[in-house]
Amino acid sequence: MSVRVDSGLQSGRRVLDDYAHASYGMPLEELEKIQAIVTGTPERVVDRLSRYIAAGARHVVVRLGALDLHSQRDQLERVAALIPSLRQADARSSPSDANRAPS
C-alpha cells in the first residue's frame, strides 16, 4: 500500500495525487481503485494500518508516497516513528501472541 504521513488528510492527498500521476500515470482517485492508500496525520495513519494488523496482518509493506530522495527520506523517518504505536496496536489486538509484531 502507498503511505504518506502528512499534516492532514487533504495535504497528504494532494501530494499523493502528484505521486500517483508521476508513478502510475493516473490520478489518485483511479489509483485508489486498485491499490490501498493511507495518508493523513500520524495518528490517522496508525489507525488505518492498525486495522490491517487487527485483521491478522503479520507484515505491512508500505510504498512511500514521495517522489524525490529528500521527501522519501522524510517519509521513511515518519513511517519508522509509527512502528512503536503499531506494535502496541498489535499487542492490544492479540494479547495471547506477544511474539507476533508487525515488521
Residue-wise pLDDT for 68-101, tens only, equals: 999 999 999 999 999 999 999 888 776 555 454 5
Residue-wise pLDDT for 32-73, tens only, equals: 999 999 999 999 999 999 999 999 999 999 999 999 999 999
**Sheet order of strands, 37-40 included:** 37-40, 2-5, 63-64
Give domain status of residue 68, yes or no.
Answer: yes
pTM to 2 decimals?
0.86
Across the chain, the runs of DSSP E, i.e. the strands, are 2-5, 37-40, 63-64
Give domain status of residue 45, yes or no.
Answer: yes
Q: Which domain holds residue 17?
A: 2-93
The total number of structural domains that make up the chain: 1
